[in-house]
Amino acid sequence: MLAAKRPGAGLCAAALMWILVVGRTAEAHQAPAVACDHGCLSKAMTQFIAAMTAGRPGSIPLAERAEVRENAERIDIGRTAWQRVKAVKSVMTFADGVTSNVVSRAGVELLDGKAGYISTRLRIMAGGRITDVEISSDTSNAVQSYVWNLDPTFGDVLPPEQRMSRVELEALARRYFHSLSTHVAVAADFAEGCNRFHSGRQITNVANNQVEGGPARTCAGSLEGNPPWGPATEQRFPVVDAERGVVFAVTLLHYPKRPNQVRMYVSEIFKVVAGRIIKIDNIGLMMTGVDTLGFVH
């Protein structure tokens, strides 16, 4: 005997089918855009620099509530140091598809012919919109011979046996910033011959440098003793590139022994080979009255 159909069974089945079809169509329209990978991020930075140097800041695809800062201060995208650039002489770019961040260091010639050093970090969300523009610019103290000829080894891809994991690289950079606060360095984190540069000015392994003074010191030794800085707050690690052994890190370094709330905006790129830092590229800007660098990414 055939089973009797329940009243409205056909209508319910049709309604269910309609709901499934409409739901799948809605999902297709609402599916998130593909995130920007390493190549996409690098291309976006190239396009950003091209637009800024061509005087087209209005073409930058900023998100509705994008945060734009230069040297820790909020600024309009059309009023940054990029508007004073005559030519880009040298640039290196590092991207992180996990965090959606990309950073460039650009050695530039300014309109007055002087050398400048501009660090730019972008955070690019799915769809290509930029939520963060973080610029650290030194237009007064950049060393032309360094910033116009940036070291290509920063971008070298390391053989697998010389790489660290993302977690290990960030931990190493965190230890470095911790040393800025405690003045106790982890000597094993530094390669013999490691050097640190501030806008191209060599700080380590040179006597009487023009930034920190004193005798010649190693990368580890320069963190120790009784320096006037510390603690290092607002630590961020927006870009970690394990293939190249690169970490881009930012912190606000306090100088409690000096008056007027003197602080340094520290923007550093570490090159790490076989577990040890071999070179540190820093843009360190002294400023007063700065309470925060902004940003959380």
Q: Which DSSP category does 128 fall into?
A: S
The DSSP code sequence of 270-296 is: EEEETTEEEEEEEEEEEEES-------
Side-chain half-sphere CA neighbours of 237 within 13 A: 19
pLDDT of residue 210: 64
Q: In the chain, how many H helices and how many E strands? A: 4, 12
User: What is the dihedral sign for C-alpha 191, 237, 186, 200?
Assistant: positive
Strand 262-273 vs strand 276-288: parallel, antiparallel, or unpaired? antiparallel
In this structure, the answer to whether residues 98 and 205 fall within a common structural domain is no
Query: Residue 23's Cα: distance from chain center in Å?
Result: 40
Residue 236 inside a domain? The answer is yes
The domain containing residue 126 runs over which residues? 38-150
Q: What total number of domains does the chain contain?
A: 2
Residue 197 inside a domain? The answer is yes
Residue 135 inside a domain? The answer is yes
In this structure, the answer to whether residues 103 and 166 fall within a common structural domain is no
* CATH number of the domain residue 222 falls in: 3.10.450.50
Written as six digits, the tokens of 244 are: 């190249």
Residue 33 inside a domain? The answer is no
Residue 134 inside a domain? The answer is yes
Q: Which of 71, 77, 141, 132 is nearest to 290 (CA)?
A: 71
The last residue of a domain, from among 102, 129, 150? 150
Do 142 and 107 contact (CB within 8 A), yes or no?
A: yes
What is the rounded distance in angstroms from the CA atom of residue 7 to the CA atom of residue 4? 9
Q: What element of type H or E holds 68?
A: strand 62-70
Written as six digits, the tokens of 140 are: 């007064």
ω into residue 238 within 30 of 0, thus cis? no
In this structure, the answer to whether residues 122 and 202 fall within a common structural domain is no
In this structure, the answer to whether residues 146 and 187 fall within a common structural domain is no
Written as six digits, the tokens of 195 are: 């050097």
pLDDT of residue 26: 41
Written as six digits, the tokens of 160 are: 């697998």
The last residue of a domain, from among 150, 171, 206? 150
Edge-to-edge strand list for the sheet holding 246-254? 201-202, 190-198, 276-288, 262-273, 246-254, 232-241
Residue 174 inside a domain? The answer is yes
How many angstroms separate the most distant Cα atoms in the chain?
103
Q: Which of 123, 281, 263, 119 is nearest to 198 (CA)?
A: 281
pLDDT of residue 257: 82
Strand 276-288 vs strand 190-198: parallel, antiparallel, or unpaired? parallel
In this structure, the answer to whether residues 77 and 113 fall within a common structural domain is yes
The last residue of a domain, from among 150, 172, 201? 150
pLDDT in tens, the chain (297 residues): 334 444 444 444 444 344 344 344 443 344 345 678 999 999 999 999 999 999 999 999 999 999 999 999 999 999 999 999 999 999 999 999 999 999 999 999 999 999 999 999 999 998 899 999 999 999 999 999 999 999 999 999 999 999 999 999 999 999 999 999 999 999 999 999 999 999 999 999 987 766 666 677 899 999 998 888 999 999 999 999 999 999 999 999 999 988 778 999 999 999 999 999 999 999 999 999 888 999 998
In this structure, the answer to whether residues 182 and 259 fall within a common structural domain is yes
Residue 123 inside a domain? The answer is yes
